[in-house]
Structure 1
Amino acid sequence: MQALYDDSRSKLYVCDYQGNVVGCALVSLCSDVMFRKQPFAVIENVIVDVAARGLGVGTTLFQAIEMFCVSTNCSRIMLLSSSQRLDSHAFFEKQGFKGAVKRGFVSIVLHLLVQGKVLTSALNNAALGRWTRNKLLAV
């Protein structure tokens, strides 16, 4: 957590209500060589407690993220969401995000420990399923 706190290119936002964490979101800045290294932001790990949904927690998180992005001169803010999370997609669209503008693709990177050596492999979900079923994962 300290390394994340010390990283000026990332911010972890946490919403606290009466001593309980009810929401969080992580935003990270990436340099964009197409825009003379002007950063763009990637939002991840947006989580709002089910009991706190509809109370403004998510909106507050996104307002804080937007202020951070404006202060760092971001060219754009992006996020990925599981394709079946339709309720989340509706929320993101209310926050100004457009789901039909771009299409995201995900590859999972695994760090495997095989005979004492760390191997890194990017796998698609099908390959991940095969590896898991065959119990080849050893981390």
Structure 2
Amino acid sequence: MKIISGDPKYYVAVACIGNKVIGTSMGIICYDLVGNCDPFMLVENVVVSKEYQSRGVGKLLMKTLEEFGQKNQCNYVILVSGGNRESAHNFYESIGYSADQRGFKKRFKKQL
């Protein structure tokens, strides 16, 4: 975590009840190579404990990330969600995200 906490381009939002973590999300500011190199934000690790889903925790986490993105003059936000995660897709659409483009992901084998 030290690497992330020392980098102002990363923002990790954590939702807690007492000492219990019930949700996380992370925003990373990136620069677009096209045009004026304007920034955009990549969102990762949006996770809310099953027992706290549908209680506004995810909305609050995403709102916090969006505020970070706006503060950093981001033009847009992108995220990838697994193809079979229907409830997550419904959640993202309910807060204004659209699936008007396709996303791709490739995993690398870990080097030992």
Q: How does the TM-score come out when normalised to structure 2?
A: 0.95
Structure exhibiting the larger radius of gyration computed from Cα positions: 1
The match for 1:22 is 22
Residues 52-88 of structure 1: per-residue CA shift (max 9 Å, x gap): 1111100000110110011000011000000000000
Partner of 2:106: 107
The share of aligned pairs that are identical, in percent, is: 27
Name which structure has the greater RCO, CA cutoff 8 Å, separation 6+: 2
**How far does residue 2 in structure 1 lie from its aligned partner after superposition?**
1.4
Partner in structure 1 of residue 42 of structure 2: 42
User: How many angstroms apart in 2 are the aligned matches of 1:35 and 1:75?
Assistant: 12
Q: Per the alignment, in what secondary structure is the counterpart of residue 102 of structure 1?
A: coil
Separation (CA, whole Å) in 1 of partners of 2:108 and 2:91: 28
State how far apart, in whole Å, the 1-side matches of 2:60 and 2:35 are.
29
1:85 aligns with 2:85: yes
Residue 52 of structure 1 pairs with residue 44 of structure 2: no
Structure 2 unaligned residues grouped into runs of 5+: none
CA offsets per residue over residues 109-134 of structure 1, 9 Å max, x none? 2233xxxxxxxxxxxxxxxxxxxxxx
Residue 28 of structure 1 aligns to which amino acid in structure 2? I
* Greater fraction of residues in strand: 1
Q: Which amino acid aligns with 2:24?
A: C
